[in-house]
């Protein structure tokens, strides 16, 4: 979607971290944005920031694990703006720790937010985006953990699933002029660390120790992560380019290549069964990958100037 000005976007988790960066980038590009948050303090802080920057962002409290609430939010957005063009399924949580230590509540929480939250977004918004026929775009926030699942297995499971889902959806919706991107960032400054502290009561029976509250006597380490603003600009760029994969951190390129090589090397070293190959061509490749493999990679995003 090259021409984003005036388009309406709905960004889950759009009041904190990466989602806030996306909402800022979209609004600065002239889009009308709805940004949601589960936690009220982020809602209030970001509403004040959007207003101070003179940006057209409407904030809304929303728990993406509640399908009825997501449906109501979609209906509200449509009533308010007439139509919705862009959905960013960005709300997410991180659970870090060995898989063997997880209890069912840990699995339930991360799957409910990181996978079913995306499902609910699609259920609520996709029929509305398809109905107006003006085209649109869906961004699903995954993670490099979905491509290099070397730790935090519960989290990586959800993010790998979101990448796979986005690829299928991209293929399915292309004929309707609806782009779909898997957004796959590396480390970005955000509140994801404290997200685990807001664990709802129904998921309380965790196998992991509660997150340690920050020690006010010790300043947090200054980590050289990407800013959430830059992470948001890269999403805007990916939407404009209609990218299948929106990647942010070239530091992961070698690791992803090694994993892809390990996969290729695991195919049995034997001749193809030509009859079987001919019967399953619809499963064994897709032109979408060739077209993106031939596409010019993105450069750094051009940051948009804030309105004065």
* Residue 177 neighbours by CB under 8 Å, 6+ apart: 135, 136
| 124 contacts ligand NAI (rule: CB under 6 A) | no
Cα Rg for the chain, rounded, in angstroms? 20
Sites for ligand NAI among residues 139-168 (CB under 6 A): 141, 143
Taking CB under 6 A as the binding criterion, the range among 32-40, 77-85, 211-219, 285-293 that sits at the site for ligand NAI is 32-40
Taking CB under 6 A as the binding criterion, the range among 25-33, 34-42, 121-129, 215-223 that sits at the site for ligand NAI is 34-42
Sites for ligand NAI among residues 1-20 (CB under 6 A): 12-13, 15-19
| 230 contacts ligand NAI (rule: CB under 6 A) | no
Report in angstroms the alpha-carbon separations of 253 from 23, 47, 147, 298: 27, 36, 10, 14
Taking CB under 6 A as the binding criterion, the range among 85-93, 97-105, 131-139, 166-174 that sits at the site for ligand NAI is 85-93
Burial (CB count within 10 angstroms: exposed 0-12, middle 13-18, buried 19+), residue 20: buried
CB of 190 to ligand NAI, least distance (A): 3
Task: Mark 90-109 with x for binding to ligand NAI (rule: CB under 6 A) and - for no binding.
Answer: xxxxx---------------
> In which order are the strands placed within the sheet that holds 86-89?
57-61, 32-37, 8-11, 86-89, 136-141, 178-184, 245-247
Q: Which is nearer to ligand NAI, 249 or 286 (CB)?
A: 249
Structure tokens given for 86: 């862009």
**Among residues 30, 39, 105, 196, the one that binds ligand NAI under rule CB under 6 A:** 39
| 63 contacts ligand NAI (rule: CB under 6 A) | yes
Catalytic residue among 81, 155, 183, 203: 155
**Among residues 10, 25, 27, 65, the one that binds ligand NAI under rule CB under 6 A:** 65
Taking CB under 6 A as the binding criterion, the range among 59-67, 95-103, 167-175, 214-222 that sits at the site for ligand NAI is 59-67
Interatomic CA distance for residues 20 and 35, integer angstroms? 8
CB of 82 to ligand NAI, least distance (A): 24
Structure tokens given for 240: 């404009």
Task: Mark 176-195 with x for binding to ligand NAI (rule: CB under 6 A) and - for no binding.
Answer: ---------x-xx-xxx--x
289 assigned to active site: no
Q: Of the candidates 198, 197, 93, which has an alpha carbon nearest to the alpha carbon of residue 155?
A: 93
Angle in degrees, CA 28, 31, 37, rounded to 5:
85
* Helix, strand or coil, per DSSP, at residue 63: coil
* Helix, strand or coil, per DSSP, at residue 138: strand
CB of 78 to ligand NAI, least distance (A): 19
| 64 contacts ligand NAI (rule: CB under 6 A) | yes
Q: Which is nearer to ligand NAI, 77 or 141 (CB)?
A: 141
Interatomic CA distance for residues 299 and 302, integer angstroms? 9
CB of 34 to ligand NAI, least distance (A): 13
Longest dimension (CA), the chain: 69
Task: Provide the angle, in degrees to the nearest 10, between the axes of the packed helices 17-28 and 228-241.
Answer: 60
Binding site for ligand NAI (CB under 6 A): 12-13, 15-19, 37-39, 42, 62-65, 90-94, 113, 141, 143, 185, 187-188, 190-192, 195
Which residue numbers are catalytic? Answer: 155
């Amino acid at each position: 979607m090259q021409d984003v000005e005036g388009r309406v976007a709905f960004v889950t988790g759009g009041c904190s971290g990466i989602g806030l960066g996306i909402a800022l980038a979209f609004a600065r590009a002239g889009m009308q944005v709805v940004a949601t948050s589960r936690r009220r303090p982020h809602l209030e802080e970001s509403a004040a920031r959007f207003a101070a920057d003179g940006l057209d962002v409407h904030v809304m409290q929303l728990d993406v694990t509640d399908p009825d609430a997501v449906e109501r939010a979609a209906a509200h957005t449509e009533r308010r703006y007439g139509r919705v063009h862009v959905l960013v399924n960005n709300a997410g949580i991180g659970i870090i720790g060995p898989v063997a230590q997880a209890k069912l509540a840990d699995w339930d929480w991360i799957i409910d937010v990181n996978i079913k939250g995306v499902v609910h977004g699609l259920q609520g918004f996709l029929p509305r985006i398809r109905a107006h026929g003006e085209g649109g775009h869906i961004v699903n926030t995954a993670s490099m953990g979905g491509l290099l699942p070397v730790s935090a297995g519960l989290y990586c499971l959800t993010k790998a699933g979101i990448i796979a889902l986005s690829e299928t959806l991209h293929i399915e919706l292309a004929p309707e002029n609806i782009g779909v991107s898997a957004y796959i960032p590396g480390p970005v400054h955000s509140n994801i660390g404290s997200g685990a502290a807001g664990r709802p009561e129904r998921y309380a029976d965790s196998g992991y120790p509660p997150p340690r509250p920050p020690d006010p006597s010790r300043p947090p380490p200054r980590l050289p992560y990407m800013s959430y603003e830059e992470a948001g600009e890269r999403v805007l760029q990916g939407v404009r380019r209609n990218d299948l994969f929106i990647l942010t951190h070239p530091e992961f390129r070698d690791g992803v290549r090694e994993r892809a090589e390990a996969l290729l090397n695991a195919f049995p070293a034997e001749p193809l069964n030509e009859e079987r190959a001919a019967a399953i061509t619809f499963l064994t490749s897709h032109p979408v990958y060739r077209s993106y493999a031939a596409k010019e990679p993105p450069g750094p995003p051009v940051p948009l100037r804030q309105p004065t």
